[in-house]
Structure 1
């Protein structure tokens, strides 16, 4: 894919994911949450320009910094997301204002990394950004799934009290 197509794909995926996360959504713990990040990673790694061949050390360091930033954004986004269980046992999630702040901080960090790369003369391809987005989504989805599985569904009927399973012996009263 061309750089313009990669940028359009990154923008479209980010826009859809971000807008969907700020509305309450039911999440399932049994679905394959890793598929979208895996597809993005495969598309990113298929492109030949992930590492600039003329500045391999600097490009590798920038890619490493991008991936660390992406992992931090994914973890921050997952931990600032509100998650709850409905009475029917379904798990729901919704991003908060803190999640939006995590995204803004992440965008600023990524712009800073791009600026550092431009100052160093490193040719930066959109594949690194797509790989970072895949890492962000993978960490966020994995942590949310883990958090959802750790929630105990709300009871649907009466909750047993301590001692309910003990047999009671009734004695006849004699007059």
Structure 2
């Protein structure tokens, strides 16, 4: 796969993720980690994450991207609305702030690509997928943590 293929795959996954995050849906922690883990495996398997001509700068940019991915995933996670229905099921829905945080994530990822390009670093073919996987994984982990803190709904009894 080349970089254009990865960008198209990442955009398709992002479109699906945005569609799913901006509508109400039940929270299923068992399924939340599948897509990020698949993206991580595919991104890492493609190799070329470290530029052989500029390895130190390449690793520094990769580390910066990882830190940004973690921070942006956590930021998006706190913008997600969580609630428990009467039947005890957890639900989630992204807000306008979630969309704004996604746009910020895209802009920051583009800035990292631009910085690497300006420094003469070859763009890693799997870097786009790896960034997306890390940021989605962190977002889902934080949403899961927030959901567990909601506690469980139990029957309410009113004694006159």
Per the TM superposition, whether the score is higher than 0.5 is: yes
Greater share of helix residues, 1 or 2?
Answer: 2
Cα displacement string for residues 105-136 of structure 1 (whole angstroms, at most 9, x for unaligned residues): 11111111111111111111231111110001
Please tell me whether residue 65 in structure 1 is matched to residue 67 in structure 2: no
Q: TM-score, normalised by structure 2?
A: 0.92
Q: TM-score, normalised by structure 1?
A: 0.84
Identify the residue that residue 5 of structure 2 maps to in structure 1.
Answer: 5
Distance 1:38 1:159, change over 3 A: farther
Larger Rg: 1
Offset at 1:39?
1.2
> Does structure 2 conserve the Cα–Cα contact (< 8 Å) formed by 1:67 and 1:132?
yes
**How far, CA to CA, are the matches of 1:127 and 1:96 in structure 2?**
29
> Does structure 2 conserve the Cα–Cα contact (< 8 Å) formed by 1:24 and 1:94?
yes
Unaligned ranges ≥5, structure 2: none
> Does structure 1 conserve the Cα–Cα contact (< 8 Å) formed by 2:72 and 2:101?
yes
Unaligned ranges ≥5, structure 1: 162-175
Instruction: Give 4+ residue runs of structure 1 displaced > 4 Å after superposition.
Output: none
**How far, CA to CA, are the matches of 2:146 and 2:47 in structure 1?**
37
Offset at 1:159?
5.2
Offset at 1:97?
1.2
Between the two proteins, the alignment pairs up a number of residues equal to: 160
The residue matched to 1:102 in structure 2 has which SS? helix
Please tell me whether residue 115 in structure 1 is matched to residue 114 in structure 2: yes
Offset at 1:151?
1.3
Q: What's the C-alpha RMSD, in Å, of the aligned pairs?
A: 1.7
**How far, CA to CA, are the matches of 1:42 and 1:125 in structure 2?**
14
Offset at 1:104?
1.4
> Does structure 2 conserve the Cα–Cα contact (< 8 Å) formed by 1:66 and 1:128?
no
Identify the residue that residue 83 of structure 1 maps to in structure 2.
Answer: 82
**How far, CA to CA, are the matches of 1:67 and 1:78 in structure 2?**
16
**How far, CA to CA, are the matches of 1:54 and 1:74 in structure 2?**
31
Cα displacement string for residues 71-103 of structure 1 (whole angstroms, at most 9, x for unaligned residues): 111101111111011111010001111111111
The residue matched to 1:83 in structure 2 has which SS? strand
Distance 1:159 1:42, change over 3 A: farther
What does residue range 138-153 of structure 1 map to in structure 2 within 5 Å? 138-153=137-152
